[in-house]
Amino acid sequence: MNSYSRNLLLIFTRNPELGKAKTRLAKTVGDETALEIYKFLLERTRDVSSEVNSDKAVYYSVKIRENDIWDAKVYQKHQQVGENLGIRMQNAFKNGFEAGYQKVMIIGSDLYDLSSENIEKGFQELDTNDVVIGPAEDGGYYLLGMNSLQENIFINKEWGTESVRKDTLEDLKNKKVKLLAIKNDIDVYEDLVHIPEIMDSFIDPK
């Protein structure tokens, strides 16, 4: 751990494989285009996260890739472990706190309008809050940070449904929680239509 950094940013990624990336989006745009869009979002997440002043760890869904877009000199590389998303996130947070980090935050890799400033603000908010949450428009969250492990928020959730954030906040009602700006992660075609950079690059005008 670098002496300057007591903060750890976790990035959860799916390995970009045809037919397995952005499956809900693929129903509209096809597997190839969905994969290209996901690769674009991965690179954008890398570019944004690389500007954040913290240590960083990528957690791979399937297997760790050595020679990919994530530079091993910048990003620690780990395998996600656990039977569902909650347990996998819990294990990643636990690893971070056990390694001595004081603030640990997680982001996904499918958000177009996340900035390094958003992430830095999340870390700052943990000076005066127990938990910081970036709410997603679909009822989940795109960012979750804490300064000690809150194990209960990772269990008894219907992951991928609109109830996740509400249930998480219920678990945290005795904690000090800061909500950041609402943002929209990209899961279905409707999430793309407001983003000219993606529409112009990847979607054929019909």
Query: What is the value of pTM for the model shown?
Result: 0.94
Residue-number span of the structural domain to which 161 is assigned = 7-199
Cβ atoms 136, 159 nearer than 8 A: no
42 lies in a domain?
yes
Number of domains in the chain: 1
204 lies in a domain?
no
Dist CA 73 CA 44 (whole Å): 18
Note the pLDDT of residue 2: 47
pLDDT by residue for the chain (206 residues), tens only, comes to 444 579 999 999 988 899 988 999 999 999 999 999 999 999 999 999 999 999 999 999 989 998 899 999 999 999 999 999 999 999 999 999 999 999 999 999 989 999 999 999 999 999 999 999 999 988 999 999 999 999 999 998 998 888 999 999 999 999 999 999 999 988 899 999 889 999 999 987 65
55 lies in a domain?
yes
Closest CA to 93 of 44, 149, 141: 149
CATH number of the domain to which 106 belongs: 3.90.550.10
85 lies in a domain?
yes
What type of residue sits at position 164?
A: V
Helix-, strand-, coil-residue percentages of the chain, each rounded to 5: 35, 20, 45
206 lies in a domain?
no
79 lies in a domain?
yes
Biggest distance spanned by C-alpha atoms of the chain: 54
2 lies in a domain?
no
172 lies in a domain?
yes
Note the pLDDT of residue 206: 56
Note the pLDDT of residue 52: 96
